[in-house]
Structure 1
């Protein structure tokens, strides 16, 4: 019921009618499941902790993309939402639909390690990154010499590329990011043989 509620954007009363329950009961079920999922996500989604866990992750990611010291793959995506009643214009993204801009980091096994899902669709990936807890952890040096590998696109051309984010100073970045970031350069366009397309 909870997943149907989130996926459909429906009203709780519609689900109550569908399942033969009261709206209050549906609300309580949704809140309990949400709380359980949130608690589990705090425990299960995490960047590698400790030297051994980081070493295993780096080895696996090196096997996929041949980059040393990578502890995660990061990207942003837009999740469509119904138009919110407050500040609606903030949620309209560059493709002209309402969304949340979600930043996700996964490991070589395609398991989420970190996420940030509080930014409206009009925000740039750089803003999401600069305001994320993960960025602050990199700035504090919690990950030593480790990096994040970025999968993204060039923008309007849509050519997918692998990019390498390096913690060089106060943040990570690319040419389009604000002045607080240093550098990011394209590494290689993906091809049909790239690990992304497999």
Structure 2
């Protein structure tokens, strides 16, 4: 009997977690589509497939929905980008870094240019006056986490003699700027082309 109670409780907990995630996913989709001011909780409930009172049972108000929906999406995008950077961990110390750096550059440009990533940046900036701390937290969970991880990987390549001695934080900033700059100026730029050019310029500066 104890096992049945535990299992039922587990199902209840999982169901609540799944409903909360559905609400946050629905909120993010509606906010991205309509913006903060034009979004109503009823529309979020419809998007999530739940009743409006269910939304309020998980998050108290529209402001809470906005904050958490954007932050959860930022965490997801940051994790995807970190997984791309981690591919550099497997680079043999005696290998040419061009191919793995190009692969990572390609993965990051695709992650940065994905609709959800663009929406997170737009939502964090669009309401910066009302949620001044949200843009900071989004930056911490995406750009700064990725820069830190990339700096660590570049430092290892430099120590192995595959890159010139450098400040890895600065090198990471340069590499990321070469990727994000073209995407800001030319949103329709081909990610693979951006990645190839960024890697070429980076290695001209930091390659051996």
The TM tier, using the shorter chain, reads 0.3 to 0.5
Structure with more of its chain in strand, by fraction: 1
Higher relative CO (CA 8 A, sep ≥ 6), structure 1 or 2? 2
Structure with more of its chain in helix, by fraction: 2
Which structure: larger Rg? 2
TM-score norm. by structure 1 comes to 0.37
TM-score norm. by structure 2 comes to 0.35
